[in-house]
Amino acid sequence: MVSSILILAIGLGTAFGLGLLNRRRAVLALGLTLGALGLMAAMAVGWLIVLAQGAAPVEIYTAGAEPPFAINLRMGLMEAGAITLITLTGLLAVLALRTALTRMGRGSMAVVLVLIMALSGLVMTRDVFNLFVFLELMAISTGGLALLSKDIRAIAAGFKYLIISQLVTILLLVGIIFTYHATGSLNIDDIPETAMGFSGLGLALFLILIAVVLELKPFPANGWALDVYTAAHPGFSAVFSAASGTAMLVVADKLVKAAGPDWFAMFTLLGLISFIGANIVALRQDNDRRLLGYSSVGQLGLLLAVIGQQDVLGEGYLYVAGGLVLSHAVAKAGLFWMSIMVKARGLSDWAAIRVRPPLVIAFATFLAMLTGLPPFPGFYAKWELAQVLATTDRLPILAAILIGTLIEAVYLFRWFGMAMKRETDTPLGPKQIDCMVVLITLAAAFGLGALWGDLSENGNLFATVPMLAALFFLALEPMPAKLKNGLAIMALVYWFAAHAGVYDPMRLIFLLVMILGGAVILLASFNEDGRRVGFYPPAMLMYAGLALLLEAQSTFEFFAAWEVMTLGSYFLILRGKQSEPHALSYMIFSLGGAFVLLSGFALAADGVTPFPLSALSLVPEQVAPWVFALLAVGFMTKTASVGVHIWLPGAHAEAETDVSPMVSGILLKAGLYGLVVLLLAMGRQSLHGVDLVNVLAWIGAISAFVGAVLAVFQEDAKRLLAYSSISQMGYALFGLALMNHLGWLLAVMFVINHYVYKSMLFLAVGGVYKRTHTKLMYKMGGLITLMPFTFVSVLVGIIAMSGVPPLSGFGGRWIFYNAILETDLRLPLVLIFMSGPVGFLYLFRLIHTIFLGQLKDENHQIKEAPIWLLVPQMIFVAFLIGFAIVPGLVLQRVDRFLGTVFGDQPLIWHGRAVESAFGNWNPVAIMVVIVVIFVTLFGILIAKNHDAVKVKQFNIVFSAERPYRPETTHFAWNFFAPYRRAMGFMEMPLVTRFWGGVSEALSGTAEFTRKLYSGNGQTYAVQVILFVVTVYLIALGGVA
């Protein structure tokens, strides 16, 4: 390989060379700049490849002498990676900045080259004074480049930046002088050889390190840098965030390595404060670039903390830090470059990008990358980090990191929601080159994801068939929706067929519901015409997550699948017309739940990777209850148990017609599957004498009751169904928590039944919505004759759901009774019993107010729901009836399987009938008796009243009046008024208030903290000094 000093030489040489060019040859100058950067990047990539293959790091000695008598540079793997990132960022930045650069002329290009050169130098140099020189170069060129922007504030921002960075470099210089005094060398590698005996060295090192930390713009001493983000040209902000940040991180790393592990704690603490603080303040930002600035500050803080954790990260340090740096740099640069095309600065002005689907994909990718979602490097890095932190008992640090990430996700995904759902007056200003720059960054994001997956010892998401299939659907986007739908169904059916034979019956049930069930619901999607851009990739991503979830053998695979599923379903839910806030709350709760899972898995693994799911049973006694509690909370977030349920009603109700059944009928089962896996492996656990399984039973019972009562009071049909899901999942949770054979069989029954009737009802209500354009039930009424098939499916659905014989819901109730007779858990039963009849209330309301009662004038002309919505419904109707007659076909195998788990066999199957220790259930006999009685009586009535005259709508009389307005005659609004008078206190939004309080507290903190950023350069300078003094005083206690 060529000497890496050439990277610096080319940069510097070209910068000087540009001065020789004719002033007017701006295009040529630009070409030269690009060429130089390209060459620098090519060299860096070359080094990266060589070093990645195991070559030893190379030392470069300048001036023909060894250090400390001359400056030396080092090119190792970390350096090569960082320089690759810096030079490539520079190259793309010049493309993005081309107009501004050409306008300003060759000088500005020279400054860019000097900046990139200086950053590369910072990365490579091993000499502190040389470091100082490069830092000065960086500061001056940054100040200069800030002026590239047309924004008038850029001058002030650049000036403030220069003032404060001089302050910082003074600190650094003083530190360097003292260090030299103490060690007699300016070489970084000589610092550790000097004992700390000399008392001044502590202060000297402190000054050097704090200067480096300040260059990372830590919260709250960073007002000076944030103005640069806001005012500078975004093409440059990308360099400022991605390249400068990376270079300073490398510097921080090598200096703190030299200074010794005593300083790690300071880095960690400052990093975490910066990460959380900056993210909180970012919550209140409404300017996209400033928001990105805060996010950058946050991410750099996170990385500072990771640098501080290198003592425990050991060999994984580069993998973790690298994954996080790359995720941050690539995503942040990409976002800044995208902001060039968005012409207005409000967050909702990003709505403009909707006209270009590839840009939407890029936006989503960058946000997912920043939040550490799969399949990007940050995800793998975060997983490793969590494992290590949990193993080394640094849980508070892990908690802080996860909380910070969650806050970051809040504002990032809120921004995404605004971009997807709101409107803007400012059109996109797309230029081919800008698009290209973004798309190259996008490709890099996926490339890095694949690379990090490949390097991971836990497995690569890109190497899984479902994930590739989901990505394949991205490529299919230009195809017509019907074709894509057919392919999607085929893919799901294929996956089902390929795995049905190998799964145990328990997993088979989930496979049946999630994958084959998904294919059935997708039939409804044939109803959509056009291309339906943005539907299939997230849908298939969600199904990929579900498929991988069932495949997962290790905790990593499980968690990765979980995140993939969450991400896909979030995009899917967001598609609904009014779903912006609901999709956000879904995402936040899901991510929060996922982070709790991550902590639980990390705690369980104790450093073992990959950690098999089955090994959860071997978790040592002292941590087992904690692991159990964390995982259970994580899973219950998905089943929307009471307390963490507030995301569900909105998310399910506002989703599109065919999405609601997917996220309700299918997605909720993922939480149950998690609980099944958890309980199978860990069984009962108790914490401080409290049996955690009993706690689950209570939560299940409360959810069952509260969900049902709240469903009664809904006016919106889809919200009613959504609340009822909370209730139904509560039943299933309760069944699992009974921890006996029949309880689990009950849960299985609920998994199947809930999928069928909830999907069916959501499709039916969706069909009604398509015709009436309202979800408010009191605006409907009397639709039975106009939508007879939909009516039938709702009728069958509610009979099945209410548990009335002869349909399949009764089977669930029968198993329930047998299950509870074997438990000692009496009190929560009261709640479960209470919620049963409450179910009748909302179910009756659903069918009555929509299909019965008075038909509204404006609805006289409506037609039956579209055929493709009816097809899956009729399949479900047939299934419900079939399942009611021969439940054994499905249940018997699960029953046998549960027998092997619990070591008992409480049900005895006699052909089609079942007998338990307490009673018996003969579904065929029940069906026959009821049908015979019903048909006989029907025959009698027909014989008598076949000639009854069909009367008109208002042929009724009440209270001596003859009604004529359907609106005043249809009894529908506030249908259960008496019930509300008695039980209305349940409607008190206690949980909503609690979470609202949390969010307001954060937001208030953000508003308060924001006041620190006055915009005044002097204030900023004082802040920096105060920051340094405070940190020194604190650090004094720890180190010096």
User: 898 to 917, contacts with another protein by CB under 8 A?
Assistant: 910, 913, 915-917
Please, which of residues 846-865 interact with another protein by CB under 8 A?
847-848, 852-854
Q: Which of 947, 962, 964, 985 is the binder for another protein (CB under 8 A)? A: 947
Minimum distance, C-beta of residue 949 to another protein, in the bound complex (Å) = 5
Closer residue to another protein (CB): 936 or 1016: 936
H/E run at residue 846: helix 827-851
Rounded Cα–Cα distance for residues 247 and 122 (Å): 6
Do strands 686-687 and 690-691 pair parallel, antiparallel, or not at all (unpaired)?
antiparallel
Minimum distance, C-beta of residue 761 to another protein, in the bound complex (Å) = 16
Minimum distance, C-beta of residue 863 to another protein, in the bound complex (Å) = 18
Q: Which of 688, 863, 944, 1011 is the binder for another protein (CB under 8 A)? A: 944
Tokens 């496979």: give the residue.
Answer: 511
Stretch that binds another protein, among 90-98, 255-263, 965-973, 989-997 (CB under 8 A): 965-973
Asked if residues 243 and 90 have their Cβ atoms less than 8 Å apart, the reply is: yes
Q: Which of 20, 63, 152, 948 is the binder for another protein (CB under 8 A)? A: 948
Minimum distance, C-beta of residue 669 to another protein, in the bound complex (Å) = 25
Helices 517-524 and 481-500, interaxial angle, to 10°? 170
Minimum distance, C-beta of residue 704 to another protein, in the bound complex (Å) = 14
Minimum distance, C-beta of residue 885 to another protein, in the bound complex (Å) = 13
Closer residue to another protein (CB): 791 or 868: 791
Chain centroid to CA 474: how far?
Answer: 19
Please, which of residues 814-833 interact with another protein by CB under 8 A?
814, 817-818, 820-821, 826-827, 829-830, 833
Decide if residue 988 touches another protein (CB under 8 A). Answer: no
Stretch that binds another protein, among 23-31, 416-424, 509-517, 946-954 (CB under 8 A): 946-954
Rounded Cα–Cα distance for residues 464 and 988 (Å): 46
Tokens of 382: 């975060």
State the amino acid at position 85 in one-letter form: L
Q: In 10 A of CB 486, how many CB atoms?
A: 14
Q: In 10 A of CB 53, how many CB atoms?
A: 7
Site mask, another protein, residues 788-817, x = CB under 8 A? -------x--xx--xxxx----x--xx--x
Site mask, another protein, residues 531-570, x = CB under 8 A? ----------------------------------------
Count of residues interacting with another protein (CB under 8 A) = 80
Closer residue to another protein (CB): 867 or 937: 937
Decide if residue 964 touches another protein (CB under 8 A). Answer: no
Stretch that binds another protein, among 228-236, 358-366, 496-504, 934-942 (CB under 8 A): 934-942
From the CA atom positions of the chain, what is the Rg in Å?
32
Closer residue to another protein (CB): 490 or 821: 821
CA distances from 261 to 255, 257, 307 (A): 11, 7, 10
Stretch that binds another protein, among 542-550, 576-584, 695-703, 943-951 (CB under 8 A): 943-951
Minimum distance, C-beta of residue 945 to another protein, in the bound complex (Å) = 5
Please, which of residues 137-156 interact with another protein by CB under 8 A?
none
Please, which of residues 989-1018 interact with another protein by CB under 8 A?
none
Rounded Cα–Cα distance for residues 340 and 872 (Å): 46
Stretch that binds another protein, among 30-38, 58-66, 436-444, 845-853 (CB under 8 A): 845-853
Q: Which of 159, 840, 909, 1032 is the binder for another protein (CB under 8 A)? A: 840
Compute the CA torsion angle 128, 132, 135, 141 (nearest 10 deg): -150
Rounded Cα–Cα distance for residues 778 and 780 (Å): 5
Minimum distance, C-beta of residue 702 to another protein, in the bound complex (Å) = 16
Length of the chain: 1040
Minimum distance, C-beta of residue 393 to another protein, in the bound complex (Å) = 43
3-class DSSP state of 24: coil
Asked if residues 680 and 744 have their Cβ atoms less than 8 Å apart, the reply is: no
Please, which of residues 865-894 interact with another protein by CB under 8 A?
none
Closer residue to another protein (CB): 2 or 956: 956
Closer residue to another protein (CB): 70 or 986: 986
H/E run at residue 750: helix 741-772
Chain centroid to CA 427: how far?
Answer: 29
Tokens of 893: 């195998």
Site mask, another protein, residues 729-768, x = CB under 8 A? ----------------------------------------
Decide if residue 955 touches another protein (CB under 8 A). Answer: yes
Tokens of 951: 């009367």
φ and ψ at residue 3, rounded to 5 degrees: -65, 140
Closer residue to another protein (CB): 258 or 877: 877
Closer residue to another protein (CB): 863 or 944: 944
Kindly give, in sequence order, each residue whose CB lies less than 8 Å from that of residue 418, ignoring residues fewer than 6 positions away.
347, 348, 350, 351, 580
Minimum distance, C-beta of residue 976 to another protein, in the bound complex (Å) = 5
Please, which of residues 765-784 interact with another protein by CB under 8 A?
782, 784
Decide if residue 967 touches another protein (CB under 8 A). Answer: no
φ and ψ at residue 456, rounded to 5 degrees: -70, 140
Please, which of residues 968-987 interact with another protein by CB under 8 A?
969-972, 975-979, 981-983
3-class DSSP state of 910: strand
Q: In 10 A of CB 401, how many CB atoms?
A: 25
Minimum distance, C-beta of residue 898 to another protein, in the bound complex (Å) = 20
Asked if residues 370 and 590 have their Cβ atoms less than 8 Å apart, the reply is: no
Closer residue to another protein (CB): 489 or 709: 709
Minimum distance, C-beta of residue 947 to another protein, in the bound complex (Å) = 7
Decide if residue 129 touches another protein (CB under 8 A). Answer: no
Minimum distance, C-beta of residue 987 to another protein, in the bound complex (Å) = 14
Tokens of 70: 């001359």
Minimum distance, C-beta of residue 653 to another protein, in the bound complex (Å) = 23
Closer residue to another protein (CB): 427 or 788: 788
φ and ψ at residue 790, rounded to 5 degrees: -60, -40
Rounded Cα–Cα distance for residues 716 and 738 (Å): 34
Rounded Cα–Cα distance for residues 900 and 914 (Å): 19
Q: Which of 287, 553, 905, 920 is the binder for another protein (CB under 8 A)? A: 920
Closer residue to another protein (CB): 637 or 859: 859
Q: Which of 199, 432, 622, 785 is the binder for another protein (CB under 8 A)? A: 785
Q: In 10 A of CB 1001, how many CB atoms?
A: 11
Rounded Cα–Cα distance for residues 116 and 255 (Å): 21
Asked if residues 187 and 126 have their Cβ atoms less than 8 Å apart, the reply is: yes
Closer residue to another protein (CB): 935 or 1029: 935
Minimum distance, C-beta of residue 913 to another protein, in the bound complex (Å) = 7
Evaluated on CA atoms 234, 238, 244, 245, the torsion sign reads positive
Tokens of 613: 């799911």
Closer residue to another protein (CB): 97 or 777: 777
Cis check for the bond before 375: say yes or no (omega within 30 of 0).
yes
Decide if residue 938 touches another protein (CB under 8 A). Answer: yes
CA terminus-to-terminus distance, the chain: 43
Biggest CA pair distance of the chain: 115
Nearest to 561 by CA among 644, 654, 674: 674
Minimum distance, C-beta of residue 706 to another protein, in the bound complex (Å) = 14
Decide if residue 841 touches another protein (CB under 8 A). Answer: yes
